[in-house]
Amino acid sequence: MATTTKEYDFSSIEPKWQAYWAENHTYEAKDFEDKPTFYVLDMFPYPSGAGLHIGHPEGYTASDALKRFKKALGFNVLHPMGWDAFGLPTEQYAIKTGTHPAITTKQNVANFTKQLSQLGFAYDWSREVNTTDPGYFKWTQWIFMQLFKKGLAYVDEKPVWFCPELGTVLANEEVLNTPEGPRSERGNFPVERRPIRQWVLRITEYAERLIAGLKDLDWPDSTKRLQENWIGRSEGAEITFDVAGHDSQLTVFTTRPDTLYGATYMVIAPEHPLVASITTAENQAAVAAYVEKAKSKSDLERAELSKDKTGVWTGATAINPVNGKEIPIWVADYVLMTYGTGAIMAVPAHDVRDFEFAKEFGLEIIQVIDDGGKAEKDADGGLIEAYTGPGKLINSGEQSDKDSESAKNAVIEQLAADNRGKATINFKLRDWLFSRQRYWGEPFPVLWLSQSNYDLVDDSLKSVERPVTCEVDGELLYAIILPEAELPLELPEVESYTPSPDGQSPLSKAENWLHVFIDPATGATSTEAQDGWVPAIRETNTMPQWAGSCWYYLRYVDPKNTEALIDPEKEKYWGTPDLYIGGAEHAVLHLLYARFWHHILYDIGVVSDPEPFKKLFHQGIILGEDGEKMSKSRGNVVNPETIIESYGADALRLYLMFLGPLEAMKPWNTKGIEGIARFLRKTWRLVVADDGELQLKIGQSDALDPETERVLHATIKKVTEDYSSLGFNTAISQMMICINQLAKTEALPREAVEDFIKLLAPLAPHIAEELWQRLGHEGSIVEAGWPKYDESKLVEDSVKIIFQVNGKYRGDAQLPADVSKDDAIAAAKANERVQGFIDGKTIKKEIYVPGKIVNIVAV
């Protein structure tokens, strides 16, 4: 297999070693090996038609280098790869071309696999997973069934973002705020609010645990804060207001019950169910127009603090429960139905947004917290801006003179005594909308039955904790889940992948798949009528793309298991990932959803730890050469294949890691990669002579000179520490210092050269493998272990001492590291240049900074 290529020919070397790793299964992880384990995980990609962009290999290079480093240290390393392949982009391509999404997915996966291999990423391909594989999504459906059984899945009609052009519901995060109104992130199409039947998961029931679990995670603080804010735990009070002249009531949540006496109006969301019933006849037209306009705004736009305040009075009033005062009820879009109760009590004197709204519409402002002279007032003694700090209560009836903190509990007790409120904890987190009106997604393992047929089925087929129902065309339907034996439930063939104009999934047209008969005793299904069996309809929505990515890291541990999601012994052996590397853009959605599902799997005994990702690292973003985010429209996208063709994969890998700290945002600079290419050529020439044979100086000495030995051992120490902490850029800098020292050394022990090649191997594996082979070794360099440094070799025998006269540099000399003050000063005085500045002068002072400077003061 060895060659005698004279020049460093990466174009032949790299494919050779990529094939070797694959053929010899070099990086396949073996279950239950008697070694310490290390599981490093990349966020798996969506295999788009565009292929890899330069942002993918950054994080993947880091994890690949860490994998190789850990394996060289003697760890049993698990480093797999897979595909998050359900979702909207492939379905849209199917709608345009008629190509089945499975065909497109297979082509895209093949292209991604080829590109990843070209970069030298030696994944354990024996554990590859694909979320669209029935053998995989069988267990996604199984997890949903456990949620269903625990009463954590239900159906509700929710106002959601709907894109008529795409024919599907979009998550808030998939909607863009634009000057033209809310539009879809994909395709930039107009979107609107529509009430649509949705599957919803009760993630809110895990809110407390999801916050508490963050405490012990080794995650970036910024990511933990994002999740805490997204979940949004706050303690306060739930307060009930009667609507004057109606039987209706409005419930609000507030963290400031101490300000209740200052509530001078209420605001409800445009989507609030009471809007139509409480609005007076003379206000109906204005309210209806306002509600319609609000439909075209995204939640982000509506919640923007700096936006213009808009609203309209319903004509109705509510009764403040602590003083009986009637206060007007307004509709305003800054109140969201998706947060709290969709209604707020407004205390303009002590809330910035309420204050601005009250000023805009001339509403009453009553100060109920004494600011102690801290707040600026107008000529009439009124507040110029809201006072949000603490103080004593004023204008607050029997609560006046109490400090605001103690008054919170006092007001809650007063409300509780009157059955008008209670202390409660609120979360910003909403239940998870878990369905899409698409074809290309996991089918729900759910059947819908009429009430009469539902009554006929065995109790074992019904939801254990909470029945799930929905109303269709005035008829109440009941949900049951499929028997496990019928999983996976696969997608049927359909004539069109386009949803219906009213937002129904393409599955609603698959008549032969849609209508089934079930055995009321076992739940078994058939498309043909059977004696005693009852008719049912399959669920036509599909799961969102998030479903498959919630648990994929577990399937890597046991990817071919047909009997269970994961074998308990393998789960205990590998555990959860020791390190998870991926983009910060997944801070709240994927990472939060995966944690939620993992907690559930922990509760039912599938996994042995409640948290899936103990250590998380976010790689930075690679910007274009213009310093802007890479995009096709800007024309600044860098294609990895182009770089590999010109410089090789090793050069690309090294350069990506050399650009700066892994977590930093940094611009790409194609010219900069040339320096890395020179470093690799110098490394090649250290081993390979012009005739293609080994350099003669290798093996010509049994020991290094002291300085080269010190540099080598310092490099082993630093590279080992830097790889452990993902500090690849500084590891590369140190290796550059080392190669320069080795290159100028006239005779090198073979072991010294081999140690350097081992250090380089995790980041530049192809050239390292080739040079290792040329040094006479068989097998992969990763099996050769990791070099060790000798602490005693790090001590410098000599140091460079700077000579100064009157604080100015006048010379230097290499002196023994333990040189005495007298000897250092004597050496300075003996220096020819120094003598020129002190001859004929009086020496006033001689200063010695040990190991660094001699300064002679002469006048």
Q: How many helices (H) and strands (E) does the chain have?
A: 27, 31
Instruction: Note the pLDDT of residue 745.
Output: 94
Using the predicted structure, report yes or no on whether residue 825 has a pLDDT greater than 50: yes
Encoded amino acid at 233, one letter: R
Q: Is 632 known to sit in a ligand binding site?
A: yes
Task: Locate 355 and state its tokens.
Answer: 């204050």
Instruction: Note the pLDDT of residue 51.
Output: 85
Decide: 127 and 27 in contact? Cβ < 8 Å: no
Query: Of the ranges 582-591, 623-632, 732-741, 836-845, which is most confident?
Result: 732-741
Mean pLDDT within 466-487: 93
What's the whole-model pTM score? 0.87
The secondary structure element, H or E, covering residue 128 is none
What share of the chain has pLDDT > 90, as a percent?
Answer: 78
Q: How far apart are CA 764 and CA 653, in angstroms?
A: 7
Quick one: how far is CA 657 from the chain centroid? Answer: 20
Which among 327, 325, 324, 322 has a CA at the least distance from the CA of 268? 327
Q: How far apart are CA 313 and CA 286, in angstroms?
A: 9
Q: How far apart are CA 505 and CA 497, in angstroms?
A: 8
Integer CA distances (angstroms), 412 to 255, 427, 628, in order: 11, 19, 52
Which among 437, 490, 403 has a CA at the least distance from the CA of 140? 490
Question: How sure is the predictor about 1, in pLDDT bands with cuts at 50, 70 and 90?
Answer: very low
Mean pLDDT within 215-223: 96
Q: Count other Cβ atoms within 10 Å, centred on residue 212.
A: 11
Instruction: Note the pLDDT of residue 49.
Output: 85
Mean pLDDT within 523-537: 95
Question: How sure is the predictor about 158, in pLDDT bands with cuts at 50, 70 and 90?
Answer: confident
Lowest-confidence region among 482-491, 531-540, 542-551, 664-673: 664-673
Mean pLDDT within 629-636: 80
Q: Count other Cβ atoms within 10 Å, centred on residue 589.
A: 16
Decide: 417 and 423 in contact? Cβ < 8 Å: no
Q: How far apart are CA 133 and CA 776, in angstroms?
A: 44
pLDDT per residue as tens digits for the range 22-67: 999 999 999 999 999 999 999 999 998 888 888 789 999 999 999 9
Using the predicted structure, report yes or no on whether residue 521 has a pLDDT greater than 90: yes
Considering the domain 796-858, what is its CATH architecture? Answer: Roll (3.10)
Instruction: Please report the beta strands in 269-380, taking only residues with DSSP state E, as ranges in sequence order.
Output: 312-319, 326-331, 343-346
In eight-state DSSP terms, residue 384 is S
Task: Locate 319 and state its tokens.
Answer: 């009764």
Question: How sure is the predictor about 306, in pLDDT bands with cuts at 50, 70 and 90?
Answer: low
Question: How sure is the predictor about 228, in pLDDT bands with cuts at 50, 70 and 90?
Answer: very high
Q: Given 3.40.50.1820, 3.60.70.12, 3.90.550.10, 3.90.740.10, which CATH number is that of 233-427?
A: 3.90.740.10
Instruction: Note the pLDDT of residue 444.
Output: 98
Lowest-confidence region among 29-43, 406-420, 628-642: 628-642
pLDDT per residue as tens digits for the range 574-598: 999 999 999 988 888 899 999 999 9
- Provide CB contacts within 8 A for 61, sequence distance 6+: 119, 121, 653, 656, 657, 763
Q: How far apart are CA 796 and CA 332, in angstroms?
A: 73
Using the predicted structure, report yes or no on whether residue 648 has a pLDDT greater than 60: yes
Question: How sure is the predictor about 316, in pLDDT bands with cuts at 50, 70 and 90?
Answer: very high
Question: How sure is the predictor about 2, in pLDDT bands with cuts at 50, 70 and 90?
Answer: very low
Mean pLDDT within 59-84: 97
Lowest-confidence region among 101-115, 189-203, 313-327, 482-496: 189-203
pLDDT per residue as tens digits for the range 793-808: 887 777 899 999 999 9
Using the predicted structure, report yes or no on whether residue 3 has a pLDDT greater than 50: no
Decide: 271 and 299 in contact? Cβ < 8 Å: no
Mean pLDDT within 128-147: 98
Burial class of 580 by CB neighbour count within 10 A (0 to 12, 13 to 18, 19+): buried
Instruction: Note the pLDDT of residue 304.
Output: 73
Using the predicted structure, report yes or no on whether residue 680 has a pLDDT greater than 70: yes
Lowest-confidence region among 40-44, 128-132, 291-295: 291-295
Instruction: Note the pLDDT of residue 159.
Output: 74
Q: Give the residue with greater pLDDT, 192 vs 443.
A: 443
What size, in residues, is the chain?
A: 859
Instruction: Note the pLDDT of residue 633.
Output: 75
Instruction: Note the pLDDT of residue 769.
Output: 98
Mean pLDDT of the chain, nearest integer? 93
Domain span(s) for CATH 3.10.20.590 in the chain? 796-858
Task: Locate 138 and state its tokens.
Answer: 């069988």
Instruction: Note the pLDDT of residue 610.
Output: 97
Place of tokens 């070794």: 777
Mean pLDDT within 301-322: 88
For 147, list phi and psi in degrees, rounded to 5. -60, -45
Strands 192-201 and 153-163: what pairing? Answer: antiparallel
Question: How sure is the predictor about 343, in pLDDT bands with cuts at 50, 70 and 90?
Answer: very high
Q: How far apart are CA 388 and CA 370, in angstroms?
A: 10
Q: Give the residue with greater pLDDT, 49 vs 766.
A: 766
Quick one: how far is CA 514 from the chain centroid? Answer: 36
Domain span(s) for CATH 3.90.740.10 in the chain? 233-427
> For residue 36, is the peptide bond before it cis, meaning its omega torsion is within 30 degrees of 0?
no
